[in-house]
Structure 1
Amino acid sequence: MSTNDVTLGAKAGGKQTTMNQKRWTGLPYWLHGWVLPVIILALWEAASALGLVSDSALPAPSRIAEAFWKLCLNGDMAKHLSTSAIRAGGGFLLGGATGLLLGVFTGLGKWAESTLDPSIQMLRTVPLLAVIPLFILWFGVGEFSKILLIALGSFFPLYFHTHLGVRTADRKLYEVTRILQYSKLQLLTKLIIPAALPNILLGIRLSVGASWLLLAVAEMMGASAGVGYMIQDARVYAQTDIVFVGIILFALVGKLSDSAVRLVERRCLRWDNNYKG
């Protein structure tokens, strides 16, 4: 059997699998991930309607949707969400850019790796929640301390995966660049960055997720706006429905940002023919 026969057979098998999945479920493949959440929401709503769960502890999805709509109408939703997006974006850009540059730097040279990487790996094991008191003492509870905390959490995933991607580039390609007499800039832009790109994009996905996780923590220490502050304020006044609105917002925005990075990943890595399942 030739390679072309195997390739054509694999493509036909993939199409047949997709058709079978759509035939059995009656839904397009991209909707399969929504089946379980819809079932959970339906059961949750039914349990609330039948009085099986406490409305104050676990409000019905319809009540949470009503609270979300009210926040949108009075403008609080736009204010909190825009404030959180600026903080998360600023922290991610600061920490991600630093992690990317240091990851390339330590990955390229043995001296840089032996000098800097052990200290960075040691700092990576320190729980970020443990440094919050120091951040408050050093920088107060203003915007700078919040962005710096988010940047610190975003730094390590991108640094680690960038360093790994640079160090695992194929050694044979380096020999080819020597024969072609590439300059250091050409070596960086035409070999190192493309070879490390899958790892870099994975690091970006993890850093984006870390920035949203730490945003919730940062906004609960002396903030006056933001989704985390909205959750904290609602907890004080026992507004459980608004607490759920904030949690769902974190989940949705985190998922959207992750999907955006995955879209960039698919477009940038069209040449990558690794097995995808």
Structure 2
Amino acid sequence: MSIHSVTQNNAITLTKKESKLTTRNVVVRGWFLPVLVLILWQILGSVGILPAQLFSSPLLIVIRSNELIQSGELAKHLQISLTRAFLGFTIGGGFGLLIGVIVGMKKRAEEYLNPSIQMLRTVPLLVITPLFIMWFGFGELSKVLLIALGAFFPLYLQTFLGIRNVDKKLYEVAQILEYNRLEQITKLMIPASLPNILLGIRLSLSAAWMCLVVAELLGADKGIGFMIQDARSFMQTDTVFVGIIIFALAGKISDSIVRFLENRLLKWQDSFKA
């Protein structure tokens, strides 16, 4: 084996080790603040500074979550909440992407649709919720549609902006290559708008989780939101915290999945990394 090959292999090995160390450091730094808060919380709860009736200690929350898991109650509520969030995000995000592409491509569509959509976007969802209940009742339809409405606007807006920010020279190249409309969308507009679209997906997922909480707290007999509302009625603070942590973890996991896709799909971007 030549000296050059040995040197190259050593360089690759060092690069892999540095990458692993960097990933490990990022994970440690990310967990530093949550772990510190949990330790302080447990200490303050153990000495009685934080009353258990209002601030259950992390240990009590872990015990309660284990009880809910063992009884199967947590899995039942979580499955229902995840189904609602997935359906709402799929419907709302799908329409947001579709209409964002149409409005971004067509000036006439923007003139007809965009003003009304922007006006509806400014209306708080809590104001619309009573209407949804009056129109669709307390069933699953009203909850899914409320989540879909919340997920629609972020993805619509980011898709619209992404398409409008595509370099005009790329359209000229597409005309030279004689792309039809479908090819323009699939080979030019969507790939060029991908950073905005992925950002819109992240924002839509966050909106879907928030709308899920609102929908389940206002009227539901199943789901994590209902579990929180029911526990609040009986002053079961530990169960309330379990529900809050479930929502936080679900939101974080879904956001991390999209960020992973961003890192995989946007490798070509030469962006600033602090």
Given the two structures, how large is their TM-score scaled by the length of structure 1?
0.90
Q: Given residue 42 of structure 1, which amino acid in structure 2 is its aligned partner?
A: I
Question: Where does residue 66 of structure 2 map in the other structure?
Answer: 69
- In structure 1, stretches of 5+ residues that fail to align are 1-14
Match of 2:96 among 76, 94, 99: 99
Question: Where does residue 267 of structure 2 map in the other structure?
Answer: 270
Q: Deviations over 1:226-270 (max 9, x none)?
A: 000000000001100000000011001100010011111111112
Contact 1:56 1:240 in 2 (8 A): yes
CA distance in 1, matches of 2:219, 2:202: 28
User: How far apart are residue 28 of structure 1 and its match?
Assistant: 2.7
Question: Where does residue 241 of structure 1 map in the other structure?
Answer: 238
Question: Where does residue 183 of structure 1 map in the other structure?
Answer: 180
Question: Where does residue 6 of structure 2 map in the other structure?
Answer: none
Question: Where does residue 84 of structure 1 map in the other structure?
Answer: 81
Question: Where does residue 9 of structure 1 map in the other structure?
Answer: none
CA distance in 1, matches of 2:160, 2:219: 35
Question: Where does residue 150 of structure 1 map in the other structure?
Answer: 147
Question: Where does residue 7 of structure 1 map in the other structure?
Answer: none
Match of 1:126 among 98, 119, 123: 123
User: How far apart are residue 62 of structure 1 and its match?
Assistant: 0.1
CA distance in 2, matches of 1:210, 1:91: 10
Pairs within 5 Å for 1:1-277: 28-277=25-274
Q: Secondary structure at the match of 2:229?
A: helix
Q: Secondary structure at the match of 1:272?
A: coil
Q: Secondary structure at the match of 1:219?
A: helix
Question: Where does residue 3 of structure 1 map in the other structure?
Answer: none
Q: Deviations over 1:169-198 (max 9, x none)?
A: 000111111112111121111111101111
CA distance in 2, matches of 1:169, 1:184: 15
Q: Secondary structure at the match of 1:56?
A: coil
CA distance in 1, matches of 2:191, 2:38: 43
Question: Where does residue 10 of structure 1 map in the other structure?
Answer: none
Given the two structures, how large is their TM-score scaled by the length of structure 2?
0.91
CA distance in 2, matches of 1:129, 1:222: 13
Which structure 1 residue ranges, 4+ long, deviate > 4 Å from structure 2? none
Q: Secondary structure at the match of 1:57?
A: coil
CA distance in 2, matches of 1:60, 1:222: 29
User: How far apart are residue 159 of structure 1 and its match?
Assistant: 0.2
Q: Given residue 208 of structure 2, which amino acid in structure 1 is its aligned partner?
A: S
